[in-house]
Structure 1
């Protein structure tokens, strides 16, 4: 997929009708993330959540790669306690905002999605990758621990055995392998990515937004609790949705057709 590049802008934010396109734009270093980029991403995600005209969010990388992880400048900052606290606060705020985003987020992964870059993508609701993409959690190989929420996400997405394979061995896997183990939504041929993205956007656009947001929240909340908690949550939310105008309109249209 060819993305218009503006080299001086590390995060490009472009709204196309009801879709907000967020592009990581440091292609010469495979879109390695800086603290400035964390702040800009946080602003973009906050805008998407609050802006009524935005219904869908697409996160992608420029230059044929998604993201190679954190820039060396970030690792340098983490050596200093004050700088580390400031940087990690921005990062954590960004990830929580993205994780809790009430609108659909699609990450489109081409080329490399490594370390923090991979885990950033995994916070999206749907990761659409090329079959040839290279995904990796290399942290332990360089003496670090999985971060960017990877310790939370990996066992929940693929189970503990596969999470240990990814995080404790740091092996590279392809987009096809990532789909096979349930790490991502789908892998397709690189040439088919634009069409598959359009298909997914069209499917999501047809969904009632309020019900979609509540259901996503329910999946996240109920994953942390037991069945009793899940049933209590459903009991609280379903009556609200039944009286919501979106549901009433769906019923009206179906009765009209029938």
Structure 2
């Protein structure tokens, strides 16, 4: 029986996806990509899932690409562009487009494509001992899996260049200060923080969260006029939703709303 490199647990409307190659610091292999695609298939088709937690097993979140999974044989070297096109780019696009909130639980190192993976999630919570590393330059490569887009959007041009060109570790505490991630918490509090956040998101109006995710992402490239039109169209759709009616009624009745994601 094939060893599973990704674990999926679903409970209480929350899907917990765990990269499970702890002996390799959860570095990506083609097999792990395939197993992660299967987990995402389940998350996408199951309407009962209203929030996702993405984590790594053991002492790392994800160390990026497993170099042992590549070929360095002269004349038969792995085409990195093809690898990215077939595996990493579809994954990042899928995470960004998923109409459900994704929380990254980062413990230990998030390096290379592992850092990109974390940053592609909607909300990143990291333990104080965690760190982020744009390791690509250390082996003569350019950041990929969306990092050259995500970094300058979040930390600005100067800091993005410094992180990418120097390949230095960024602590979780500094990542929070720079606005790269949502929150840095003590290691002992990480699980409680992530679980509480996931439960909160799972109980919120899912369609509204999806629209917020879409609109904030679109704002990076939209003009103001285009963004105003997008906001109008999204509000038109959400204004006809069950959760909007529930939210308004709960407000008028001075009670807590019971959102269903519809």
Q: Residue 242 of structure 2 aligns with which residue?
A: 245
- SS, match of residue 71 in structure 2: helix
Q: 2:46 aligned to 51, 58, 62, which one?
A: 51
1:28 and 2:23 equivalent?
yes
Distance in 2 separating the partners of 1:205 and 1:234: 23
1:91 and 2:67 equivalent?
no
Q: What is the total number of aligned residue pairs between the two structures?
A: 251
Distance in 2 separating the partners of 1:156 and 1:185: 14
Q: Residue 258 of structure 2 aligns with which residue?
A: none
Q: Residue 13 of structure 1 aligns with which residue?
A: 8
1:79 and 2:77 equivalent?
yes
1:228 and 2:225 equivalent?
yes
Distance in 2 separating the partners of 1:138 and 1:92: 18
Report matched runs for 1:106-125 at 5 Å. Answer: 106-125=103-122
Distance in 1 separating the partners of 2:78 and 2:3: 28
Gaps of 5+ in 1: 1-6
> Displacement, 1:66?
0.6
Q: Hey, which bits of structure 1, 4+ residues long, moved more than 4 A? A: none
1:217 and 2:214 equivalent?
yes
Distance in 1 separating the partners of 2:31 and 2:137: 25
> Displacement, 1:209?
0.8
> Displacement, 1:87?
5.7
Superimposed CA distance per residue, residues 164-222 of structure 1 (whole angstroms, 9 cap, x where no aligned partner): 11111111111111111111110111000111112212331332111111111111112
Distance in 1 separating the partners of 2:195 and 2:247: 24
TM-score if structure 2 supplies the norm length? 0.90
Report matched runs for 1:163-202 at 5 Å. Answer: 163-202=160-199
Q: Residue 36 of structure 2 aligns with which residue?
A: 41
